[in-house]
A and B are shown apart, each in its own frame.
Chain A
Amino acid sequence: MEIQITLNNRTIKSNIEPDCLLIDWVREHGCYSVKRGCETSNCGLCTVLLDGKPVLSCSMLAVRANGHNVQTLEGLQEEAKDFVEFIADQGADQCGFCNPGFVMNTISLLRENPNPTDDEIRAYLSGNLCRCSGYEGQLRGIRNYLNSKNK
Protein backbone atom coordinates (compact mmCIF):
# COMPACT_ATOMS: atom_id res chain seq x y z
CA MET A 1 0.00 0.00 0.00
CA GLU A 2 1.10 3.54 -0.68
CA ILE A 3 1.46 5.67 2.40
CA GLN A 4 2.87 9.06 3.20
CA ILE A 5 4.13 9.79 6.68
CA THR A 6 5.87 12.85 7.98
CA LEU A 7 8.70 11.30 9.97
CA ASN A 8 10.69 13.81 12.00
CA ASN A 9 9.60 16.65 9.71
CA ARG A 10 10.53 14.76 6.58
CA THR A 11 7.69 13.55 4.37
CA ILE A 12 8.27 10.01 3.25
CA LYS A 13 6.31 8.12 0.65
CA SER A 14 6.48 4.41 1.09
CA ASN A 15 4.98 1.23 -0.25
CA ILE A 16 4.20 -1.16 2.58
CA GLU A 17 2.43 -4.37 3.48
CA PRO A 18 -0.88 -3.79 5.31
CA ASP A 19 0.44 -5.54 8.42
CA CYS A 20 3.69 -3.63 8.62
CA LEU A 21 3.96 -2.24 12.14
CA LEU A 22 5.00 1.33 12.71
CA ILE A 23 8.03 0.27 14.79
CA ASP A 24 9.41 -1.75 11.88
CA TRP A 25 8.68 1.04 9.45
CA VAL A 26 10.47 3.73 11.46
CA ARG A 27 13.47 1.45 12.01
CA GLU A 28 13.56 0.74 8.29
CA HIS A 29 13.73 4.48 7.85
CA GLY A 30 16.76 4.82 10.07
CA CYS A 31 15.12 5.56 13.39
CA TYR A 32 17.02 2.96 15.37
CA SER A 33 16.24 4.62 18.67
CA VAL A 34 12.87 2.89 18.61
CA LYS A 35 13.21 -0.42 20.45
CA ARG A 36 11.09 -3.50 20.91
CA GLY A 37 11.08 -4.99 24.40
CA CYS A 38 8.00 -7.18 24.34
CA GLU A 39 5.20 -8.36 22.11
CA THR A 40 2.37 -7.50 24.47
CA SER A 41 2.26 -3.68 24.57
CA ASN A 42 3.64 -3.68 28.10
CA CYS A 43 7.14 -2.20 28.06
CA GLY A 44 6.92 1.27 26.49
CA LEU A 45 10.30 0.96 24.74
CA CYS A 46 8.77 1.61 21.33
CA THR A 47 7.12 4.91 22.26
CA VAL A 48 6.90 7.45 19.44
CA LEU A 49 4.83 10.59 19.14
CA LEU A 50 1.93 10.42 16.70
CA ASP A 51 0.66 13.93 16.03
CA GLY A 52 2.35 14.83 19.31
CA LYS A 53 0.79 12.06 21.38
CA PRO A 54 2.83 9.19 22.78
CA VAL A 55 1.82 5.82 21.33
CA LEU A 56 3.26 2.33 21.19
CA SER A 57 4.69 1.93 17.72
CA CYS A 58 4.81 -1.87 18.17
CA SER A 59 1.04 -1.95 18.35
CA MET A 60 0.23 0.37 15.53
CA LEU A 61 -0.08 -0.43 11.87
CA ALA A 62 2.17 1.82 9.84
CA VAL A 63 -0.69 2.37 7.44
CA ARG A 64 -2.67 3.92 10.25
CA ALA A 65 -0.07 6.66 10.44
CA ASN A 66 -0.73 7.48 6.80
CA GLY A 67 -1.10 11.23 6.50
CA HIS A 68 0.09 11.79 10.05
CA ASN A 69 3.10 13.18 11.81
CA VAL A 70 5.45 10.72 13.52
CA GLN A 71 8.32 11.78 15.74
CA THR A 72 11.04 9.63 17.19
CA LEU A 73 13.95 10.58 19.40
CA GLU A 74 16.01 11.16 16.26
CA GLY A 75 13.77 14.15 15.57
CA LEU A 76 13.73 15.52 19.10
CA GLN A 77 17.44 15.60 19.91
CA GLU A 78 17.46 19.23 20.97
CA GLU A 79 14.37 19.01 23.15
CA ALA A 80 15.75 15.86 24.77
CA LYS A 81 19.27 17.06 25.32
CA ASP A 82 18.78 19.47 28.22
CA PHE A 83 16.74 17.06 30.23
CA VAL A 84 18.67 13.85 29.59
CA GLU A 85 21.88 15.38 30.94
CA PHE A 86 20.23 15.23 34.33
CA ILE A 87 19.49 11.53 33.89
CA ALA A 88 23.13 11.03 32.90
CA ASP A 89 24.24 12.81 36.05
CA GLN A 90 22.37 10.20 38.08
CA GLY A 91 23.91 7.34 36.12
CA ALA A 92 20.32 6.28 35.55
CA ASP A 93 20.80 5.69 31.82
CA GLN A 94 22.36 2.30 32.66
CA CYS A 95 21.98 -0.17 29.79
CA GLY A 96 20.15 2.45 27.79
CA PHE A 97 17.78 0.14 26.00
CA CYS A 98 14.66 1.62 27.58
CA ASN A 99 16.00 5.18 27.40
CA PRO A 100 14.51 6.32 24.08
CA GLY A 101 10.97 5.26 25.05
CA PHE A 102 11.42 6.80 28.47
CA VAL A 103 12.77 10.03 27.03
CA MET A 104 9.97 10.28 24.47
CA ASN A 105 7.29 9.79 27.07
CA THR A 106 8.97 12.24 29.45
CA ILE A 107 9.02 14.83 26.69
CA SER A 108 5.33 14.26 26.26
CA LEU A 109 4.73 14.52 30.00
CA LEU A 110 6.58 17.80 30.25
CA ARG A 111 4.73 19.26 27.27
CA GLU A 112 1.40 18.36 28.87
CA ASN A 113 2.40 19.20 32.40
CA PRO A 114 5.52 21.37 32.72
CA ASN A 115 5.61 21.15 36.51
CA PRO A 116 4.50 17.69 37.51
CA THR A 117 4.58 16.36 41.06
CA ASP A 118 6.55 13.19 41.78
CA ASP A 119 3.32 11.21 41.77
CA GLU A 120 2.28 12.69 38.45
CA ILE A 121 5.66 11.76 37.01
CA ARG A 122 5.37 8.19 38.27
CA ALA A 123 1.83 7.86 36.96
CA TYR A 124 2.56 9.27 33.52
CA LEU A 125 5.65 7.12 33.04
CA SER A 126 4.23 3.94 34.56
CA GLY A 127 4.01 2.33 31.13
CA ASN A 128 7.78 2.68 30.65
CA LEU A 129 9.53 -0.31 32.15
CA CYS A 130 13.16 -0.22 33.21
CA ARG A 131 14.92 -3.21 34.74
CA CYS A 132 18.28 -1.60 35.52
CA SER A 133 17.75 1.63 37.35
CA GLY A 134 15.07 0.91 39.90
CA TYR A 135 13.38 4.09 38.63
CA GLU A 136 14.44 6.28 41.56
CA GLY A 137 17.42 7.73 39.68
CA GLN A 138 15.18 8.60 36.74
CA LEU A 139 12.86 10.43 39.11
CA ARG A 140 15.76 12.29 40.73
CA GLY A 141 17.01 13.29 37.31
CA ILE A 142 13.65 14.66 36.22
CA ARG A 143 13.24 16.45 39.54
CA ASN A 144 16.68 18.04 39.28
CA TYR A 145 15.93 19.13 35.73
CA LEU A 146 12.68 20.77 36.82
CA ASN A 147 14.40 22.45 39.75
CA SER A 148 17.12 23.81 37.51
CA LYS A 149 14.56 25.12 35.07
CA ASN A 150 12.48 26.77 37.76
CA LYS A 151 15.42 28.59 39.29
Chain B
Amino acid sequence: MITIKNYIRAGSLQEAYDLNQSRQNRVIGGMLWVKMANSNVNTAIDLSDLGLDTITETDSEFSIGAMVSLRQIELHEGLNKYTNYAIKKSVGDIVGVQFRNMATVGGSIFGRFGFSDVLTMFLTLDCDVELFKGGIISLEEFSKMERDNDILVRLIVKKTPGNFVYDSMRITKTDFPVIACGVSCVNNEYRFSVGARPAKAILLRDEEGILSNGISEDSISAISKWVAEHTPTQSNLRGSAQYRTHLIEVLIKRNLLKLRGEISGNSNNFE
Protein backbone atom coordinates (compact mmCIF):
# COMPACT_ATOMS: atom_id res chain seq x y z
CA MET B 1 0.00 0.00 0.00
CA ILE B 2 1.11 3.52 -0.76
CA THR B 3 0.98 6.37 1.71
CA ILE B 4 1.07 10.00 0.66
CA LYS B 5 1.81 12.86 3.03
CA ASN B 6 1.09 15.82 0.75
CA TYR B 7 -0.62 16.35 -2.53
CA ILE B 8 0.11 19.28 -4.79
CA ARG B 9 -1.47 20.20 -8.06
CA ALA B 10 1.46 21.89 -9.71
CA GLY B 11 0.67 25.37 -10.97
CA SER B 12 3.53 25.38 -13.43
CA LEU B 13 5.95 22.97 -14.98
CA GLN B 14 8.72 24.70 -13.04
CA GLU B 15 6.94 23.97 -9.79
CA ALA B 16 6.40 20.35 -10.78
CA TYR B 17 10.03 20.08 -11.76
CA ASP B 18 11.29 21.61 -8.53
CA LEU B 19 9.11 19.33 -6.42
CA ASN B 20 10.23 16.32 -8.40
CA GLN B 21 13.86 16.89 -7.48
CA SER B 22 13.26 15.30 -4.09
CA ARG B 23 13.43 11.53 -4.24
CA GLN B 24 10.59 11.24 -1.77
CA ASN B 25 8.24 13.07 -4.11
CA ARG B 26 6.50 11.48 -7.07
CA VAL B 27 4.65 12.59 -10.19
CA ILE B 28 1.50 10.51 -10.04
CA GLY B 29 0.49 10.37 -13.71
CA GLY B 30 -2.61 8.21 -13.91
CA MET B 31 -1.93 6.92 -10.39
CA LEU B 32 -2.29 3.29 -11.48
CA TRP B 33 1.25 2.05 -11.10
CA VAL B 34 2.14 4.51 -8.40
CA LYS B 35 -0.73 3.22 -6.29
CA MET B 36 0.35 -0.40 -6.50
CA ALA B 37 3.82 0.32 -5.21
CA ASN B 38 4.37 -0.36 -1.54
CA SER B 39 5.98 2.96 -0.78
CA ASN B 40 5.80 6.16 1.20
CA VAL B 41 5.52 9.29 -0.89
CA ASN B 42 6.16 12.63 0.67
CA THR B 43 4.52 14.80 -1.96
CA ALA B 44 2.40 13.52 -4.78
CA ILE B 45 2.78 15.85 -7.75
CA ASP B 46 -0.28 16.13 -9.95
CA LEU B 47 0.12 17.61 -13.43
CA SER B 48 -3.65 17.79 -13.99
CA ASP B 49 -3.84 21.58 -14.00
CA LEU B 50 -1.15 22.15 -16.61
CA GLY B 51 -3.28 21.66 -19.70
CA LEU B 52 -1.37 18.56 -20.69
CA ASP B 53 -4.47 16.49 -21.35
CA THR B 54 -5.04 17.42 -24.97
CA ILE B 55 -4.00 16.20 -28.37
CA THR B 56 -3.32 18.95 -30.87
CA GLU B 57 -3.11 18.13 -34.55
CA THR B 58 -1.48 20.36 -37.13
CA ASP B 59 -0.61 19.72 -40.74
CA SER B 60 2.75 18.33 -39.78
CA GLU B 61 2.40 16.77 -36.36
CA PHE B 62 0.42 15.65 -33.36
CA SER B 63 1.26 17.10 -30.01
CA ILE B 64 0.16 14.72 -27.26
CA GLY B 65 0.26 16.11 -23.73
CA ALA B 66 1.72 13.88 -21.02
CA MET B 67 -1.63 13.68 -19.21
CA VAL B 68 -3.56 12.49 -22.25
CA SER B 69 -5.23 9.20 -21.38
CA LEU B 70 -4.76 5.96 -23.28
CA ARG B 71 -8.45 6.10 -24.07
CA GLN B 72 -7.98 9.48 -25.73
CA ILE B 73 -5.36 8.19 -28.14
CA GLU B 74 -7.43 5.06 -28.70
CA LEU B 75 -10.33 7.19 -29.89
CA HIS B 76 -8.44 10.00 -31.63
CA GLU B 77 -9.53 10.16 -35.26
CA GLY B 78 -6.42 11.87 -36.58
CA LEU B 79 -3.92 9.63 -34.85
CA ASN B 80 -5.76 6.55 -35.91
CA LYS B 81 -6.15 7.67 -39.47
CA TYR B 82 -2.49 8.44 -39.63
CA THR B 83 -1.47 5.06 -38.14
CA ASN B 84 -4.20 3.13 -39.91
CA TYR B 85 -5.64 2.25 -36.47
CA ALA B 86 -2.41 0.75 -35.18
CA ILE B 87 -2.69 3.08 -32.16
CA LYS B 88 -6.12 1.77 -31.33
CA LYS B 89 -4.91 -1.78 -31.72
CA SER B 90 -1.92 -1.15 -29.46
CA VAL B 91 -3.85 0.15 -26.46
CA GLY B 92 -7.26 -1.49 -26.93
CA ASP B 93 -6.33 -4.61 -24.96
CA ILE B 94 -5.03 -2.81 -21.89
CA VAL B 95 -7.17 -4.00 -18.95
CA GLY B 96 -10.41 -2.16 -19.69
CA VAL B 97 -12.00 1.13 -20.63
CA GLN B 98 -11.98 2.44 -17.06
CA PHE B 99 -8.27 1.74 -16.73
CA ARG B 100 -7.53 3.38 -20.05
CA ASN B 101 -9.51 6.44 -19.01
CA MET B 102 -7.01 6.89 -16.20
CA ALA B 103 -3.67 5.64 -17.47
CA THR B 104 -1.73 8.43 -19.14
CA VAL B 105 0.49 8.39 -22.18
CA GLY B 106 3.09 10.31 -20.23
CA GLY B 107 3.02 7.85 -17.35
CA SER B 108 3.45 4.90 -19.64
CA ILE B 109 6.24 6.50 -21.67
CA PHE B 110 8.07 8.10 -18.76
CA GLY B 111 7.96 4.87 -16.76
CA ARG B 112 9.51 3.01 -19.70
CA PHE B 113 7.78 -0.04 -18.34
CA GLY B 114 8.72 -3.34 -19.91
CA PHE B 115 5.12 -4.26 -20.55
CA SER B 116 4.27 -0.92 -22.15
CA ASP B 117 2.29 -1.30 -25.35
CA VAL B 118 2.38 2.48 -25.61
CA LEU B 119 6.16 2.73 -25.70
CA THR B 120 6.33 -0.18 -28.14
CA MET B 121 3.82 1.47 -30.45
CA PHE B 122 5.24 4.98 -30.31
CA LEU B 123 8.75 3.73 -31.06
CA THR B 124 7.50 2.76 -34.51
CA LEU B 125 6.45 6.37 -35.11
CA ASP B 126 8.58 9.34 -35.99
CA CYS B 127 8.24 10.62 -32.47
CA ASP B 128 9.99 12.99 -30.11
CA VAL B 129 9.45 13.72 -26.48
CA GLU B 130 9.63 17.09 -24.84
CA LEU B 131 11.20 17.17 -21.39
CA PHE B 132 10.95 20.23 -19.21
CA LYS B 133 14.71 20.45 -18.68
CA GLY B 134 16.02 18.07 -21.29
CA GLY B 135 14.21 19.71 -24.18
CA ILE B 136 13.10 17.85 -27.25
CA ILE B 137 14.79 14.54 -27.98
CA SER B 138 13.78 11.51 -29.98
CA LEU B 139 11.63 8.95 -28.20
CA GLU B 140 14.15 6.32 -29.19
CA GLU B 141 16.89 8.17 -27.37
CA PHE B 142 14.63 8.83 -24.42
CA SER B 143 13.68 5.18 -24.19
CA LYS B 144 17.30 4.27 -23.62
CA MET B 145 17.92 6.86 -20.91
CA GLU B 146 17.90 6.01 -17.23
CA ARG B 147 14.96 7.32 -15.29
CA ASP B 148 15.66 10.75 -13.87
CA ASN B 149 13.83 13.62 -12.21
CA ASP B 150 12.86 15.54 -15.33
CA ILE B 151 9.25 16.12 -16.27
CA LEU B 152 7.81 14.69 -19.47
CA VAL B 153 5.71 17.42 -21.05
CA ARG B 154 4.45 15.95 -24.30
CA LEU B 155 5.02 13.63 -27.22
CA ILE B 156 5.40 15.00 -30.71
CA VAL B 157 4.39 12.62 -33.45
CA LYS B 158 5.42 13.87 -36.86
CA LYS B 159 3.19 13.11 -39.76
CA THR B 160 6.01 11.61 -41.73
CA PRO B 161 4.49 9.46 -44.43
CA GLY B 162 4.44 5.90 -43.23
CA ASN B 163 2.60 2.72 -42.54
CA PHE B 164 2.16 1.08 -39.16
CA VAL B 165 1.13 -2.30 -37.86
CA TYR B 166 0.89 -3.46 -34.28
CA ASP B 167 0.18 -6.78 -32.67
CA SER B 168 0.76 -8.45 -29.34
CA MET B 169 0.42 -11.90 -27.86
CA ARG B 170 -1.53 -12.15 -24.61
CA ILE B 171 -2.58 -15.23 -22.66
CA THR B 172 -5.83 -13.61 -21.63
CA LYS B 173 -7.01 -10.81 -23.85
CA THR B 174 -6.55 -7.94 -21.40
CA ASP B 175 -3.42 -9.18 -19.67
CA PHE B 176 0.09 -7.79 -20.05
CA PRO B 177 1.53 -8.89 -23.37
CA VAL B 178 3.84 -11.90 -23.52
CA ILE B 179 5.39 -10.00 -26.38
CA ALA B 180 4.43 -6.85 -28.24
CA CYS B 181 5.59 -6.01 -31.74
CA GLY B 182 5.19 -2.90 -33.82
CA VAL B 183 6.39 -2.63 -37.39
CA SER B 184 6.45 0.49 -39.49
CA CYS B 185 7.79 1.83 -42.68
CA VAL B 186 8.45 5.53 -42.18
CA ASN B 187 10.00 7.50 -45.01
CA ASN B 188 10.85 4.16 -46.58
CA GLU B 189 12.72 3.06 -43.48
CA TYR B 190 11.53 -0.09 -41.77
CA ARG B 191 11.31 0.00 -38.00
CA PHE B 192 10.79 -2.96 -35.68
CA SER B 193 9.80 -2.31 -32.13
CA VAL B 194 9.61 -5.12 -29.59
CA GLY B 195 8.20 -4.71 -26.10
CA ALA B 196 7.46 -6.97 -23.15
CA ARG B 197 10.64 -8.89 -23.85
CA PRO B 198 9.88 -8.59 -20.86
CA ALA B 199 12.29 -5.66 -20.55
CA LYS B 200 11.34 -2.30 -22.05
CA ALA B 201 10.78 -1.98 -25.75
CA ILE B 202 13.68 -1.64 -28.12
CA LEU B 203 13.71 -0.41 -31.67
CA LEU B 204 15.58 -2.16 -34.46
CA ARG B 205 16.12 -1.20 -38.07
CA ASP B 206 17.01 -3.20 -41.12
CA GLU B 207 20.72 -2.66 -40.62
CA GLU B 208 21.73 -5.36 -43.02
CA GLY B 209 19.48 -4.23 -45.81
CA ILE B 210 17.56 -7.47 -45.86
CA LEU B 211 14.51 -5.64 -47.16
CA SER B 212 16.40 -3.36 -49.52
CA ASN B 213 15.17 -5.26 -52.54
CA GLY B 214 11.57 -4.99 -51.41
CA ILE B 215 9.34 -7.04 -49.16
CA SER B 216 8.87 -10.49 -50.55
CA GLU B 217 7.91 -13.65 -48.72
CA ASP B 218 11.59 -14.55 -48.51
CA SER B 219 12.85 -11.22 -47.29
CA ILE B 220 10.06 -11.04 -44.75
CA SER B 221 11.05 -14.42 -43.37
CA ALA B 222 14.68 -13.39 -43.29
CA ILE B 223 14.11 -10.08 -41.52
CA SER B 224 11.72 -11.66 -39.01
CA LYS B 225 14.38 -14.17 -38.11
CA TRP B 226 16.95 -11.39 -37.94
CA VAL B 227 14.84 -9.26 -35.60
CA ALA B 228 14.15 -12.26 -33.38
CA GLU B 229 17.84 -13.06 -33.22
CA HIS B 230 18.80 -9.49 -32.41
CA THR B 231 16.24 -8.83 -29.70
CA PRO B 232 17.35 -9.84 -26.23
CA THR B 233 14.63 -11.70 -24.31
CA GLN B 234 14.26 -13.02 -20.80
CA SER B 235 11.93 -15.34 -18.96
CA ASN B 236 9.22 -14.42 -16.50
CA LEU B 237 5.84 -15.69 -15.35
CA ARG B 238 4.25 -15.07 -18.73
CA GLY B 239 6.76 -16.77 -20.93
CA SER B 240 10.29 -18.06 -21.38
CA ALA B 241 12.99 -16.24 -23.30
CA GLN B 242 12.85 -18.90 -26.03
CA TYR B 243 9.12 -18.59 -26.44
CA ARG B 244 9.39 -14.84 -26.68
CA THR B 245 12.09 -15.09 -29.30
CA HIS B 246 9.87 -17.46 -31.24
CA LEU B 247 6.90 -15.10 -30.92
CA ILE B 248 8.93 -12.14 -32.13
CA GLU B 249 9.66 -13.95 -35.34
CA VAL B 250 6.01 -14.95 -35.76
CA LEU B 251 4.58 -11.51 -35.03
CA ILE B 252 7.15 -9.52 -37.00
CA LYS B 253 6.45 -11.73 -39.96
CA ARG B 254 2.70 -11.36 -39.65
CA ASN B 255 2.99 -7.63 -39.13
CA LEU B 256 5.17 -7.26 -42.20
CA LEU B 257 2.77 -9.27 -44.32
CA LYS B 258 0.04 -6.98 -43.11
CA LEU B 259 2.15 -3.92 -43.74
CA ARG B 260 2.75 -5.08 -47.26
CA GLY B 261 -0.99 -5.43 -47.73
CA GLU B 262 -1.49 -2.01 -46.25
CA ILE B 263 1.02 -0.35 -48.50
CA SER B 264 -0.82 -1.84 -51.41
CA GLY B 265 -3.90 -0.39 -49.78
CA ASN B 266 -6.11 -3.26 -48.77
CA SER B 267 -6.12 -3.74 -45.07
CA ASN B 268 -6.19 -1.88 -41.81
CA ASN B 269 -5.45 -2.65 -38.20
CA PHE B 270 -8.89 -2.01 -37.00
CA GLU B 271 -10.66 -5.28 -37.39
Contacts and interface: CB of A to CB of B under 8 A. Distances in A.
Contacts of B7: 1, 18, 61, 63
A64 interface: yes
Interface stretch (A34-42, A75-83, A86-94): A34-42
A1 B36 CA distance: 22
Residue of B1, B32, B102 ringed by the most chain A CB atoms within 10 A:
B102
A149 to B, nearest CB: 22
Contacts of B96: 44, 105, 125-128
A55 B44 CA distance: 20
Interface of B: 1-7, 28, 30-32, 35-36, 44, 46, 48, 71, 92, 95-99, 101-102, 173-174
Given A64-B31, A123-B92, A41 B99 contact: yes
B97 A59 contact: no
A111 B2 CA distance: 34
Given A17-B4, A19-B4, A127-B174, 16 more contacts: A18-B44, A19-B2, A44-B98, A53-B71, A55-B98, A56-B98, A59-B35, A59-B102, A63-B7, A64-B48, A105-B97, A108-B97, A125-B96, A126-B173, A126-B174, A127-B99
Interface string A65-78: 00000000000000
A27 to B, nearest CB: 17
A118 to B, nearest CB: 15
Nearest to A122: B173
A127 B102 contact: no
A124 interface: yes
Contact of B98 (A21, A123, A127): A127
Nearest to A128: B96
A47 B36 contact: no
Given A19-B4, A126-B174, A61 B97 contact: no
A39 B35 CA distance: 9
Interface of A: 1, 17-19, 21, 39-42, 44, 47, 50, 53-56, 59-61, 63-64, 105, 108-109, 123-128
A7 B170 CA distance: 38
Given A41-B95, A128-B96, A55 B48 contact: no
Contacts of B36: 39-41
28 contacts: A1-B7, A18-B4, A18-B44, A19-B2, A19-B4, A41-B32, A41-B95, A41-B99, A42-B95, A55-B101, A55-B102, A56-B98, A56-B102, A59-B31, A59-B35, A59-B102, A61-B4, A61-B7, A61-B28, A105-B96, A105-B97, A125-B96, A126-B97, A126-B173, A126-B174, A127-B95, A127-B98, A128-B96
A124 B174 CA distance: 11
Contacts of A59: 30-32, 35, 99, 102
Contacts of A55: 98, 101-102
A127 B35 CA distance: 18
Give the interface centre of B35, B46, B92, B173 by most chain A CB atoms within 10 Å. Answer: B35
B28 A18 contact: no
B91 to A, nearest CB: 12
A56 B101 CA distance: 9
Contacts of A56: 32, 98-99, 102
B147 to A, nearest CB: 22
Contacts of A123: 92
Nearest to B102: A55
Given A18-B44, A59-B102, A127 B4 contact: no
A66 to B, nearest CB: 8
Given A18-B44, A39-B36, A126-B174, A47 B6 contact: no
Leading 4 A-B pairs by shortest Cβ distance: A127-B96, A19-B4, A18-B7, A54-B98
A40 B175 CA distance: 12
A64 B8 CA distance: 10
A61 B31 contact: yes
